[in-house]
Amino acid sequence: MLKENLKGYTMNQRIAFGFIVAMVLITSGFAISFYSYSRYDEDMQRVRNTYEVIGSLENVLSLMKDVETGSRGYVITNDSAYLEPYNKAMQLLPGQFEHLEMLTKDNKVQTKRRLFLKHLIENKLAITEARLTISAFDRRNNAISAESKRRMDLLRKHVALMIDTERVLMDTRNRQADSSFRSTLVIIFVLSLMTFLSLAILYRLLEKELDHRQQTADRLLAYDSQLRGQIRQLEASNEELERFAFVASHDLQEPLRKIQSFSNLITERYANLFDADSMLFMSKISNSAERMSKLIKDLLNFSRISSHQEQFKVVPLHEVVQRILDDQELRIKGMDVQLEIGDLPIIEGIASQMDHLFNNLISNALKFVKPGVHPVLRIQARAVDSDSYPDLIPDRRYFEISVEDNGIGFDEKYVDHIFKVFQRLHGKSAFEGTGIGLAICKRVVMYHHGYITARSQPNEGATFVVVLPESQSQQQYDRPTSEAYSYPAG
């Protein structure tokens, strides 16, 4: 039954339940044993009390016999030696009767009989004292002796009645004590049996759990070995892909350069022979070759982000952003872009990947401008906790860098779509690009154990949010805050 009830629980819950049941049974056994022992001790105390009552009654009767015998011997012989047991009995009798009174005070029936016994004793002692004052040859002696004998007989019968009552009570109490003792033994046996069964079931559950954990450990070892093999295969595959990407970029760029060169030569030498359609076709050939060249370069950059295992170093982000802005100075001035660059932090990262990240984000902001609106590019940073964004490591220091523009924006329902390779929200004719830039950004951020997202509404600009850790090493994360990298002055 216990096994059936445990089927609905997990193994750990069943083991815990088994321990609780065993502890409850053991505790109950101790409690019931103590209670039963206390009851048995109380029953035996009552039995001992009955024995003492009987002994006390016999002592009272024995003392009264001494009183009777001593007084009779003195009357017959007039020898004071016979008064010695009489006097001794008279001294002991009050104390013995007080003891009897204490033993029977909780028994109403015996209390009434004790009071009547006291009355009989007082009458007997009165007639005995009267008898001692009369000579053996006095005519009244026979009558007093007969009355003394009658009162002594009444005394004996009453004491016998009280003793019989105590013996009946003693038998009842003995049976009660035996019953209590047997019940205690039965209860202890049943609880012990149940405890043994629960411990046996618990042992079986523990044995099954240990077997299950051993099997799990064996499977994990097998999975670990299999995973190591797959990692080795993946590393070899990555090396092959990297070599392929390098060869592809090199070999594909060469024919593309020839296509571009010869198309330019044809256009320059034979422009006077071409009509408008021919010139359009040549322009499309040249533009397509140039776009394919950019696409190959972006794909190569995308593949190199995680395949090139560079060391993390201290990277001042304000220098990275300033370098990119300097490179695009002519474009920025030509578009008359309003720049608002805040204090940017110093982090631990890979400088070349930070260049790719912010170059793509800034290029995006400058690309999707809204016609007729003065362009604004705002880059700011602030420290945030790991609880602010999902998938961040707890208790570590992060920086949130936002790249905000006032361009055409986009619908936020496409926020996951834009970070995928070759995914575009606008046609190639409307805005140039390969559709890989934001995918590169996401790969860079993920490689740095950070988080990237975007907030936007159509025609209301876009804000790309990049969250990067201050440090990549666990020891540096755990160091005191006072040693952390700080913002650059100014």
3-class DSSP string for 376-410: EEEEEEEEECHHHCCCCCCCCCEEEEEEEECCCCC
CB 354 within 8 A of CB 324: no
CB 127 within 8 A of CB 145: no
Confidence of residue 485 (pLDDT cuts 50, 70, 90): very low
Q: What is the mean pLDDT of residues 280-294?
A: 76
What percentage of residues in the chain have a pLDDT greater than 90?
Answer: 11
CB 464 within 8 A of CB 454: yes
Tokens 């012989």 belong to 77
Q: What is the mean pLDDT of residues 389-415?
A: 86
Question: What per-residue confidence (pLDDT) applies to 328?
Answer: 87
What amino acid occupies position 398?
Y
Structure tokens, 112: 């009434």
Confidence of residue 300 (pLDDT cuts 50, 70, 90): low
Confidence of residue 250 (pLDDT cuts 50, 70, 90): low
d(CA 92, CA 73): 20
Tokens 């394919």 belong to 292
CB 392 within 8 A of CB 451: yes
Give ∠ CA 437-439-445 in degrees, rounded to 5. 105
Question: What per-residue confidence (pLDDT) applies to 474?
Answer: 54
Does the pLDDT of residue 349 top 60, yes or no?
Answer: yes
To which H or E segment does residue 464 belong?
strand 462-469
Beta bridge partners, 377, equal 339, 405
Give ∠ CA 146-93-69 in degrees, rounded to 5. 35
CB 463 within 8 A of CB 396: no
Confidence of residue 478 (pLDDT cuts 50, 70, 90): very low
Closest CA to 379 of 364, 392, 393: 364
Burial track 334-348 (b if 16+ CB lie within 10 A, e otherwise): eeebeeeeeebbbbb
Question: What per-residue confidence (pLDDT) applies to 319?
Answer: 93
Structure tokens, 229: 């093999």
Does the pLDDT of residue 8 top 60, yes or no?
Answer: no
Sign of CA dihedral 403, 405, 408, 410: positive
Question: What per-residue confidence (pLDDT) applies to 9?
Answer: 55
Question: What per-residue confidence (pLDDT) applies to 274?
Answer: 76
Q: What is the DSSP letter of 57?
A: H
Q: What is the mean pLDDT of residues 314-332?
A: 91
Structure tokens, 12: 């750990």
Q: What is the mean pLDDT of residues 309-321?
A: 87
Question: What per-residue confidence (pLDDT) applies to 422?
Answer: 55
Does the pLDDT of residue 71 top 80, yes or no?
Answer: no
Q: What is the pTM of this model?
A: 0.46
CB 48 within 8 A of CB 195: no
The Cβ-side half-sphere exposure at 451, using a 13 Å CA radius, reads: 16
d(CA 121, CA 165): 19
